[in-house]
Amino acid sequence: MSVIKINQKAYENNLKNIIKKVGNSSKIISVFKDNAYGHGAKILAPIAKSLGINFVAVKNEKEAYNLENFFENILILSHRPHGNENPKFIYTINEISKIQEYKIGTKIHLKIDTGMHRNGVYMENIEDAFLKIDKAKLNLEGIFTHFSSADEMDASFFVQREKFFQAKSLTQKRYENLIYHSYNSSALFRNQEIPQDEFFRIGIAQFGYGDKNLEKVLSLYAHKLSERILKSGQSVGYGRSFSTEKNLKIATYDLGYADGLFRYNGQGGLFLANNKKILGKISMDSFSCEDCGDEVCVFNDAEIWADFFNTISYEILVKLHPDIPRVLI
């Protein structure tokens, strides 16, 4: 059975590193969306809690219910209002025209579109949104924005930050004791001065990506299904994309693209953590390689697979099937 090993110490060290950077664990909104980026929300929740995290962000209500016994504050990022919102959760307003569709009294954070143009209310419509929120008798607890290019050294980050400052001061004229947040992992790790009056929504950095002082938390293991000697000239797997020039002891392991691996087509050289090549194409439920014993580490750094597949570590991680057991090491 394939397994995902979660390194508890690494996760704790990363969180401690982040807490130190922001000054206080109460200013962190741990982003736990999509099963904590594939790491397993339920397995990490008690660890985060033990380090003082009491605020998380998730994708939808299902994820919020999954964590309701762990955290006091749960912000739902991608909610479509249905009028029966749970008073325990905090819901994002992504769209000004849907404000009246939330249940009276619902706790909300208003998202401001400062330049990403994905979700949220335009700067010029903030006052209008406030009127609608008051009319719908919603309980505004915070405002936030999201940067489109926090990981790049271009000017847009500063433009968006400036707009959010303006949004904050508009809000402060009308409401007291709201919370504000804009920084994600890469904004926090830009090594610039950080705002003192904000919370921080931290996702990928918790898991060890984005700064050299962080440690990778997740490693993915597969287990041997069978072994054989591949004779010179024989091939393994669909399409015969790999064939050996000399006799080779190979083995087939129990992890494939149905488990969330990207489908490698056998071209270009994709390597396991031990630097052995995957031989031939990845199948739905298995892959083959030189015999590496009963258990093999597929990867312990998603960046390597992300580079190979021309994507980002986020995608490699969240694709890992929720049915793969997650265990703490």
Ligand X SMILES: *Cc1c(COP(=O)(O)O)cnc(C)c1O
Positions in the binding site for ligand X (CB under 6 A): 31, 33, 77, 146, 184-186, 201-205
**Of 20 and 174, which has the nearer Cβ to ligand X?**
20
Q: To the nearest whole angstrom, how small is the minimum distance from the Cβ of residue 291 to ligand X? A: 37
The string over 84-107, giving b where at least 16 C-beta atoms fall within 10 Å of a residue's C-beta and e elsewhere, is ebbeebbbbbbebeebeebbeebb
Q: Which helix (H) or strand (E) holds 31?
A: strand 28-31
Phi, psi angle pair for 243, to nearest 5°: -135, 150
Active-site annotation holder among 238, 249, 276, 277: 238
Any binding-site annotation on 153? Answer: no
Quickly tell me which residue has 């490698």 as its tokens: 264
CA dihedral 200, 204, 206, 212 (to 10 degrees): -110
Q: To the nearest whole angstrom, how small is the minimum distance from the Cβ of residue 16 to ligand X? A: 17
Phi-psi region of 177 (alpha: psi -120 to 50; beta: other; left: phi over 0): left
288/280 Cα distance (integer angstroms)? 7
Any binding-site annotation on 284? Answer: yes
Phi-psi region of 94 (alpha: psi -120 to 50; beta: other; left: phi over 0): alpha
Q: To the nearest whole angstrom, how small is the minimum distance from the Cβ of residue 192 to ligand X? A: 16
Establish whether 33 is a catalytic residue.
yes
Establish whether 91 is a catalytic residue.
no
**Of 106 and 313, which has the nearer Cβ to ligand X?**
313
Active-site annotation holder among 21, 27, 33, 107: 33
**Of 36 and 126, which has the nearer Cβ to ligand X?**
36
**Of 39 and 281, which has the nearer Cβ to ligand X?**
39
Q: Which residue is nearest to ligand X (CB)?
A: 203
Q: Which two tokens stand for residue 275?
A: 């630097």
Q: To the nearest whole angstrom, how small is the minimum distance from the Cβ of residue 17 to ligand X? A: 14
Binding residues for substrate: 118, 284
Q: Report the catalytic residues.
A: 33, 238
